[in-house]
Amino acid sequence: MNKKKMLQLTCATLALFIGGGVTADEFTKQDLQRWQAEYMAAVKAGRDVFTDPKLGSNGIVCAQCHPNGANTHPETYPKFQKQLGKVAQMWEMVNWCIRNPLEGKDLAANDPRMTNMLAYIAHERRGKTLTPGKH
Ligand code: HEC
């Protein structure tokens, strides 16, 4: 076998191995139940943050202006946001609202409170068709 052929064979074998690795993992009904429970726990925790007067510094809560996630439009992200002057993700607008109406400090994008709030907002708007960029 020449070098080129050997390389081809090695690549093909590797692809088989790696390919096998990326096929969907097996999961059971119990897994699904556990994951759904974890997700719903995040949604519930997100609602708590959304209604927490201690998130900002002035006692105002998200739900006062966005009852049940109203006017948050998660299905339109990413999109250009005038307030930020760029195409933004929704967590960046959440931080805009924390800084402005709530007079608080930004949360990191991967802060569990941010993840939970995003889960709560998306859950409230579930079923909406994705329309990224829309105003
Ligand atoms: C005093 C009222 C007020 C409060 C309190 C408030 N917001 Fe907002 N929120 C606004 C306004 C005004 C906008 C800007 C709407 C626009 O021009 O897109 C906005 C925009 C948003 C958007 C983007 C909406 C869109 O259509 O793209 C999200 C998401 C959001 N707020 C989440 C939150 C979260 C989370 C909190 C709590 C941390 C919060 N808001 C608190 C008034 C408020």
Q: By C-alpha distance, which of 100, 86, 115 is closest to 56?
A: 100
Rounded to the nearest integer, the mean pLDDT of the chain is 91
Cα 36 to middle of ligand 1, angstroms = 28
Q: Name the pLDDT band for 105 (thresholds 50, 70, 90).
A: very high
> Model confidence over 9-53: pLDDT tens digits?
565 555 555 555 567 889 999 999 999 999 999 999 999 999 999
Cα 97 to middle of ligand 1, angstroms = 5
Cα 47 to middle of ligand 1, angstroms = 15
Atom of ligand 1 nearest to the CA of 98: 38
Of 47, 48, 71, the residue with max ligand 1 atoms within 8 A of its CB, to mutate for a pocket test, comes to 71
Q: Answer whether 57 contacts ligand 1 (Cβ < 6 A).
A: no
Cα 20 to middle of ligand 1, angstroms = 45
Contact 69, 120 (CB under 8 A): yes
Q: By C-alpha distance, which of 23, 71, 47 is closest to 123?
A: 47
> For position 15, what pLDDT does the model report?
55
| Res 6 pLDDT > 80 | no
Q: By C-alpha distance, which of 126, 2, 12, 125 is closest to 66?
A: 125
| Res 8 pLDDT > 90 | no
